[in-house]
């Protein structure tokens, strides 16, 4: 089984009300693409992006945080966890990213609805750490799996909203030539 699926099913079992979760990182690759890259299925965590409005609502939702804590407690023996919840302003995304969400179908969930960003937005998030080998392997996978071309990637780069952190700006710039090379020439 894919670790992200195990984590999300555990979270769902602890939730008491409907909750949307937008995956990114390797969980989005493992559950949002067929076939997923093997490395993504083995990732021990789930990362999620919270739209600003959802983040504000969750801040006061003690039941959600209790469910998250119970999930992590129940998964701790297996080394699995869900702790990385980033507000959209902390991640590189296109301004229209919420309009292009892709549902991830998972059967038997009671409360949780799962989505992933469009492949272009996932690609932008993979550029946040510059030329990190794992992220660049994921970028190559996204470009191939979603057949992203250099023109579409250039447009996404030009539209990207980048967190106001100099290191992220520098990493994003450093990744651009490599990602465009992948789009033109493959890995």
Please give the angle made by the CA atoms of 124, 130 and 134, to the nearest 5 degrees. Answer: 85
Evaluate if residue 43 carries a pLDDT over 80.
yes
**Tokens standing for residue 12:** 């769902």
Q: What average pLDDT does the segment 38-47 reach?
A: 96
pLDDT band at 37 (very low <50, low <70, confident <90, very high): very high
Cα 171 to Cα 12, 62, 85, 138, 140, distances in angstroms? 35, 35, 21, 16, 17
Separation CA 7–CA 82 (nearest Å): 7
pTM for this one?
A: 0.95
Evaluate if residue 59 carries a pLDDT over 90.
no
Please give the angle made by the CA atoms of 64, 69 and 73, to the nearest 5 degrees. Answer: 145
Evaluate if residue 53 carries a pLDDT over 90.
no
pLDDT band at 57 (very low <50, low <70, confident <90, very high): confident
**pLDDT for res 55:** 81
- pLDDT tens digits for range 60-79: 889 999 999 999 999 999 99
- pLDDT tens digits for range 68-114: 999 999 999 999 999 889 999 999 999 999 999 999 999 899 999 99
Separation CA 81–CA 102 (nearest Å): 23
**3 half-sphere exposure, CB direction, 13 A CA radius:** 23
Residue with tokens 């009300």: 17
For all residues of the chain together, what is the average pLDDT? 95
Decide if 31 contacts 114 (C-beta within 8 A): yes
Helix axes 119-126, 150-159, angle to 10 degrees: 70
pLDDT band at 169 (very low <50, low <70, confident <90, very high): very high
Evaluate if residue 126 carries a pLDDT over 90.
yes
Q: What average pLDDT does the segment 166-182 reach?
A: 98
Task: State what percent of residues in the chain have pLDDT above 70.
Answer: 99
Domain spans in the chain, listed from the N-terminal domain onward: 3-185
Q: Which of 160, 110, 152 is nearest to 9 (CA)?
A: 110
Q: What average pLDDT does the segment 160-164 reach?
A: 98
């Amino acid at each position: 089984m894919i670790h992200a699926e195990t984590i999300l099913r555990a979270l769902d079992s602890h939730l008491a009300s409907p909750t949307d979760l937008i995956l990114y990182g390797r969980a989005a690759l493992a559950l949002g693409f067929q076939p997923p890259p093997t490395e993504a299925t083995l990732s021990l965590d789930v990362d999620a992006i919270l739209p600003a409005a959802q983040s504000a609502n969750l801040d006061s939702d003690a039941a959600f945080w209790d469910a998250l804590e119970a999930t992590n407690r129940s998964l701790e023996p297996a080394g699995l966890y869900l702790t990385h919840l980033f507000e959209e302003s902390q991640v590189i995304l296109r301004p229209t990213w919420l309009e292009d969400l892709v549902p991830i179908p998972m059967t038997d969930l009671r409360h949780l609805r799962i989505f992933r960003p469009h492949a272009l937005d996932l690609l932008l998030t993979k550029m946040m750490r510059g030329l990190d080998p794992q992220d660049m392997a994921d970028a190559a996978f996204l470009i191939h799996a979603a057949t992203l071309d250099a023109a579409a990637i250039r447009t996404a780069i030009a539209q990207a909203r980048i967190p106001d952190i100099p290191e992220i700006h520098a990493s994003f710039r450093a990744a651009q030539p490599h990602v465009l090379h992948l789009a033109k020439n493959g890995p």
